[in-house]
Structures are given as structure tokens and as C-alpha cells.
Chain A
């Protein structure tokens, strides 16, 4: 049997199976789901470097499933994080209700995402896209009582995006008579300019919703926040990448990046792409500023996720190989560190039962592994060398500077700086500072949860040291699928025309210096005395356990005062108002149905009379 349908079959099969036989016992359903994901992951690995395709006809449409380096690249993210999340879930979901449901939705989501990346035609792309939407919707509403509004918001916005994409897809179909990517790629340049722009906008809305580009992001914080923690990791780490994959397709495979015809170009980038770039950059900045103000750990990460995706979109819209490389590399990075962070937050939630930053504190001694993971996660997220986050950031800045896009570069830099704020808030308020007495006997999470997080941490260290393998992979995807000349690569240094960084040298320097200082410092001095958390300078006062010395509420209060212009405006509220007004309008409108038989009869007569008066309408 062909590998691609086999993988899809295994995943969908295990989804159904785990739901059906999951009624029997816990081990079975989790086992089935895990086995399904692992086996399909194994088959997926076999696909590396292959160019398989599988075609059949459905409803008279040609359905193409194929694998190429680009889809393998995204498939790698799906299965990489998917497997880890599944492992994490085994203990996380223990003793929770409706695990069968969870396993079902998890497998469904992974399967549909894999379906998206292997789709070689727009129809199956849309088909899997919709499955992904509702499967992930099931996850958002997993916690029954709180999640309804978030779920509906997510679903409605996804639907708006999907339908906008559907219109674009069908417009393409109406023009070309086929759904295949290849036909679109070759036919794109024959479209008229306005048609191209219309397609670009419609597709961009469709992908933008999933990739949570501002102002289409409002679902993301709630949806990420509401879904179970392991799934949030998958949600932010991979599911949102499907939007990114869509943008990759749109810009490079379909050819919207070139935008043939007489479109104004700015800095060598077509105007729509340039506007998209601004959307990306502003998303990165504003989302980051909002993230700083969040008190819910998951919402913080969600907004941060929105911001980081803004970077990725910024990278894509530059329409250069450097920018694309940056975007794809950052996509991997984002998957890794958002995986780490969401899983860690999940682990903390698992033990403490809260996600409120202001309620936690001082968990470092209780959960040292988790702390370590979060530490590496925020270093990566902030883009501080020597971890892999820096490589992604570096590539993005170089790509921007290469195009001489100064303002965009400044916005991107600023967003990255502001990201330090929430990074610190995240790690400080959870792990550092004073521990509330009720968390005194919190334990570290079991190994099934620790292992996935630690694996991801190792990965980010490795990529910080040696990103060149991954860059090669990206280059391969660029040259074979995306029609770009990949950026020059050496095996020891990142470089382009503007500058260069040797990640190996950085890692070595930092490592060596740290080891030397550490050894000197610890051998020359005897061990320090360990004191309790409350043994701090409080002007001689001895604070009792009832006194809260943890500064976590309103952590960036001065900062919030200076960015109140941003915080006062909320797209979410705007949409909410719009939706309410719309419903109010509907409420008025529905009185067309008065409930009065005479009126209805009158309608019938009037209808008839109207038609009789304007008979030439019908001829």
C-alpha cells in the first residue's frame, strides 16, 4: 500500500478506534492513540527524501496526495511535536474525564494536519483544513464549562477564514478547471492583476486566521488558553504552522510572492507582500505588548505565539530566500520553544492546578526540571544567544536589512526587546520569588511529562550550536518546491552579504567562559549558606507565612501605563460589539416573521402581485 494513504488511514483509524474501544479502559485508548501516532511517525520517516504521490478521483475532481521536501519539513514538525505531546498526554490526561474524546480529537488533528501538508490539490487541502478546524475545536471546548465562548469564537473565525479561502479556491477552480497546485502554480501568472490581488487577499485571510495575524488573532488567546495544556502546545506549535504552511504555499508555490504584472514594488517587494509584511511586523509588536500584560500563563504564551507567528509571516513576505529561510527556521524554533513552554505550563498546572501567574511563585526547588525547560524556552523565545532562537532572529534581521527595510527592522527589533518582558514575567512569577505556602509540597511531574520537555530542550541547544543541518533541509525545500535559490550555507558559520555569526564560536565561547568562571568561583570560595525564602531584607522585620512578599500582581504596571494607547484598543471587543450589533440587526429583521397569518397571506399575495407587475424579470 502507498505510504501516504497508509499513514492517513492509520491516524484516522486510531482516532476512531481509540474513541470506540476507549470506553473500555484508560490504557487501551491512550495506547491505541499513541501507537497510531508512533507507527505513522515511523512510516513518515520512511518518506524522507522521497517524492511519492497518490492520486485518485473523487466527485470528478482529481485528488492528489504527494510528499515533497516542503511538506516533509512541516510533517516533521507535526510528528515531532505530535509524538511528544502524545507521550506527555499519557500521564497528563490520566484520571481526567473523557480521555477517549481527547485521544480522538488528538489523532484527528494530527491526521488532518498531515493531510494538509500532503495535499497536492486545493480540494483535499480545504477538506483536511476543515477537519483540522473542527477537530481542534473539539479540543478547545474540552473543558466544558468555561470554554464555550472561546470555542465558538475560534470556530466562527476559523470558518470565516476557511470560507474566504474557499472562495479563492473556487475562483481558481472556475478559472483553471482543476484544483491541483501545479496547475495553479503554472497558471497564476496568467491571471489578471486584480484577480491575483483578490486571490492573495482571500487566501491571506484564510491562512491569516489560522496563523493568527492581527487583526484576525482574537480567537487565539482564548482558544490556546482553554484547550488542555498538551494540546495547547500542539495548537500553538504545529496547528498554527498550518497557516504558515499556507502562506508558504501562497507566496512561493502558487506564486503570489511574484505577483506578476504591473504592481508597485517597494524595496523590491510587491505591494501586497509589503503590506503583509507590515501586518506581520505589527502583529509581532502589538501582540508582544499585550502578552506582557497577561496574568494567565497560557494567554501570555498565546499572545506571544501570535507575535512570533508575526515574525514568521514577516519573513515570508520579504519574498527572498533569506527571508524564507528565516521564516522556516523560526517556525521550527517556535514549534520547539512553544512546545517546551506550553508543556511546562501544563506540567505546572498539573501539579498546582492554576495558570494564574499571580497565584504561583517559587516553584523552582519543587520542579527543577520544569524550571530548566522554561529557562531554556524563554532564552530561545527571547532570541538570546547561544540557543537556537538567536539563529532565527538573526536570519530575520539580516533578511530585513538585506532588503533595506529599516522601519520594519526597527519594529521587529522592538518586538523582540519587548518579548524579554513577558519571558521574564513568565519564569519569575512561576518559578522564582516567594512560594505560597500551599505549594510547599508540590512535586516534580512524572518522567513521561519530563522526557518530552527535556528532549525539546536538548533540541534547542543542539540547533543553537549547529543549525546548519536544518538550514540545509530548508534550502532543499526552497530549491525544489518553492522556486527560490537557497541562501549560501557553510557548515560552520551563518553568513550573508551583510554579516556573519559563527554559532559554534558563540556556543564555545559562552560555554568555556561559563565553565571557567563557574569552576573558579566555586573552588575559591566555600559553599554559601542556604537560607530560606523569607530570609530577605525586610528592614529587620521577620515576615510570617501570611505575608505575601511575591511581587507578581500587575507585574509591569508602569509599563502598562506607558503603553495604554495600545491596551485600550482591542480588536476582540470590536468584533464582539460588531457581532452584537449584527445580532441586534438580525433580531429586528426576524420580525419579518410576524407570526400573524394575515401578514403571511399578504406576503403571498404581494409576491404574486410583484411578479405579475415585473414579468419581464422572469423571461
Chain B
């Protein structure tokens, strides 16, 4: 138990990154198929990251720029450490008994803040614009997200992720069925979280040259891409834990996370991009109202 615990702690970041990057590869493939293309191999993103790691030079704009990817990945790995990955008797809990949902909600921001700082120091106005848009949009999708989270926490009268998982012991008790409004609100927020279209105004490549990471290259970009994959994994696992009662083994974990991955992907394929204030007002309208309906369900 103890060795496997330690082993998982060491392995989990890599697993997370690999899973996340593979999902992204699959996502690219699916998009290609929708566009009648053949598409890249599903491990394309891993290859990309490897290539970036193998870059021979990198430039830095200063200490924050240098530290930002490191700090970002620190934040993501730390989040991962406080997240129950697998539940049940053979679960992978890592340190998740030492923190609760509120911690997760806040520690997730750590990495984002670090990235924002690094982007800021790059001195590229596009980066700053991207950060400004990203943070603004975050306030937008945070509304339905917070509402959903609070609904869950109040519904089960706990802030512990474990207890929330425990309460969803069978298929019918999954929160996506038990509190559907909160789930829908959270799903809308998830669209914003994942930063796919239509909510990708942050990185908008054709407009602000990929925004925050525009000055990062080589090893920095490699770390950031790893981080991106891992962070996607973290978010997916969190949603699985909260709404699908966690997963007992890797197969079901992959299935469930992939289900969640597909939702923003499909939404993104068929939608153009929102402007920032459009995105914010969008999130503050229907998702919030739906979330509040969820409240009513819980309160009544």
C-alpha cells in the first residue's frame, strides 16, 4: 500500500499529462474528421511536446518569465495531489484526504496565476491582452461554476470531495442525475474552463498571436504544454468525481473523463468565437439561472 501510494504520487503527474495530451490528440483527430480531413495521429500532441522539449535554445525575459511554467506545473501537480483519482478499495487518493473541494477550487488558480505573471513579464502586449481577457472570462464562468459547487456542498452538507463521491454510490445517484441543474450549470462552466471554442478568446491565435504564451518557446512552451495536458486531466477528473461518482478503475476513469472531454469539444467544433463581454454575459445569463434553479431544488 505504502509503496504503491508513493509510486502513484510519482507516476500520477506523468499519467495525467499523457492522458490529457492524448485526449487533445484525439480531439484534434475528431475535429479533423468533422472537417472531412484525415487528421494527425492521436499521439500528435505528445510528439509536439517531445519536440518542444528537444528544442536547443530558449529565451527568457526575466525571472518571472523563467519561473512561470515551473510554477504553473507546480500548481497543477499540487492540484492533482489533492484530487482522488480512483475511488473504491484500490483507489488512488494521493493526499486527497488532506484537503477539500474549496482547497481544490483555489489551488487550481495557483498555476493560472503563475502563467499570467509569466505572460505579463514577457512584455508582449498580446500576452497581457490575453490575460486580461482570460481573467475577465474567468469571472464569467466562475458564476455558474461556483453556484454548482455550492449547490453540491450544501446538498451533501460537506465540502469534502470524498463525501460527495460516497454519496453517489450507484449509477442513479450520480450527481448529473441527482442534481441536474447544478450539473448543467457546471457543464457550461466547464466549456469556459477548457477554453475551447466558443470561449477561446484568450488565446485567439489569429487575433492576438496565441495570447499569453505568445513569447514562450522551447523548453518553456514544452512545460506549458505538459501542464496544459495535465490540467485538462485534473479538470476532467474533478468533474468525474463530482458528477459521476468518481471511477473505480482506470477503464471507467478513462471512459468517464473522455465523455467529459467530448462535450466541450463538440460544442467547440460547431461554434465560432465569443467576444469577451459576450462570453461573460452569456455565462451570467442562462447558466447562472439554471444554477439558481438547482439551488431552489436543494433548498426546497
Contacts and interface: CB of A to CB of B under 8 A. Distances in A.
> Do A and B interact directly, with beta carbons closer than 8 Å?
yes
A406 B292 CA distance: 10
Contacts of B167: none
Contact of A534 (B123, B280, B295): B123
B138 A420 contact: yes
Interface in B99-147: 99-103, 106-107, 109-110, 113, 116-117, 120-126, 128-129, 131-133, 135-136, 138-140, 142-143, 146-147
Contact of B106 (A383, A424, A502, A551): A383
Contact of A536 (B75, B106, B122, B280): B122
A401 B140 CA distance: 22
A303 to B, nearest CB: 16
A365 interface: yes
Interface string B237-256: 00000000000000000000
Contacts of A375: 117
B277 A421 contact: no
Interface string B53-83: 0000111111110110111011101100110
Interface in B137-196: 138-140, 142-143, 146-147, 149-151, 153-154, 157-160
A610 interface: no
Interface residues of A, number: 71
Contacts of A497: 157
B158 A433 contact: no
Given A397-B102, A506-B103, A410 B70 contact: no
Contacts of A390: 103, 106
Contacts of A481: none
A406 B150 contact: yes
B154 A404 contact: yes
B66 A401 contact: no
A410 B101 contact: no
A562 B277 contact: yes
Nearest to B158: A498
Best-surrounded residue of B107, B160, B223, B284 (most CB of chain A within 10 A): B107
A29 B284 CA distance: 56
| Most chain A beta carbons < 10 A, residue from B98, B110, B157 | B98
Given A434-B123, A528-B66, A549-B125, A513 B295 contact: no
Given A514-B71, A531-B59, 11 more contacts: A394-B106, A398-B102, A420-B109, A427-B117, A427-B120, A513-B81, A517-B77, A528-B60, A530-B62, A558-B133, A558-B280
B102 A499 contact: yes
Interface stretch (A160-168, A350-358, A411-419): A411-419
A498 B153 contact: yes
A428 interface: yes
A135 to B, nearest CB: 38
Contacts of B158: 498-499
A382 B113 contact: yes
B22 interface: no
Residue among A421, A428, A518, A550 facing the most chain B CB atoms (10 A cut-off): A428
B138 A417 contact: yes
Nearest to B95: A505
Contacts of B57: 528-529
B218 to A, nearest CB: 8
Contacts, number: 233
A536 B103 contact: no
A578 B11 CA distance: 65
A513 B146 contact: no
A480 B248 CA distance: 49
B123 A433 contact: yes
Contacts of B67: 518
A583 to B, nearest CB: 39
A609 to B, nearest CB: 67
B28 interface: no
Contact of B121 (A364, A423, A529, A534): A364
Interface of A is mostly: helix
A525 interface: yes
Contacts of A506: 78, 82, 98-99, 103, 107
B87 interface: no
A407 B295 contact: yes
Contacts of A557: 132
Given A406-B299, A502-B99, A562-B281, A433 B60 contact: no
B136 A421 contact: yes
Interface string A508-551: 01100110011001000100111101111100000000000111
Interface of A: 362, 364-365, 368, 375, 379, 382-385, 390, 393-394, 397-398, 401, 404, 406-407, 409-410, 413-414, 417-418, 420-421, 423-424, 427-428, 432-434, 493, 497-502, 505-506, 509-510, 513-514, 517-518, 521, 525, 528-531, 533-537, 549-552, 555-559, 561-562
Contact of B59 (A499, A530, A551): A530
A420 B62 contact: no
Contacts of A517: 70, 73-74, 77
Contacts of A493: 98
A525 B159 contact: no
A514 B68 CA distance: 11
Contact of B109 (A384, A499, A551): A384
Given A414-B142, A529-B58, A536-B122, A559 B136 contact: yes
Nearest to A288: B139
13 contacts: A404-B154, A413-B149, A417-B139, A417-B142, A499-B158, A505-B99, A506-B98, A509-B82, A530-B62, A536-B123, A549-B123, A558-B132, A559-B139
A533 B123 contact: yes
B109 A382 contact: yes
Interface string B80-97: 011000000000000100
Contacts of B133: 558
A558 B59 contact: no
Contacts of B150: 401, 406, 409-410, 413
Contacts of A365: 62
Given A420-B135, A433-B120, A531-B61, A401 B154 contact: yes
A382 B113 CA distance: 10
B219 interface: yes
A381 to B, nearest CB: 11
Contacts of B74: 510, 513-514, 517
B246 to A, nearest CB: 17
Given A517-B77, A536-B215, A537-B215, A509 B147 contact: no
A501 B100 CA distance: 6
A394 B82 CA distance: 15
A527 B67 CA distance: 13
Contacts of B136: 421, 556, 558-559, 562
A187 B146 CA distance: 43
B11 to A, nearest CB: 14
A384 B143 contact: no
A498 B139 contact: no
A385 B103 contact: yes
For B70, B71, B295, the residue with the greatest tally of chain A CB atoms inside 10 Å of its CB is: B70
Contacts of B146: 410, 413-414, 417
Contacts of A514: 70-71, 74
A401 B277 contact: no
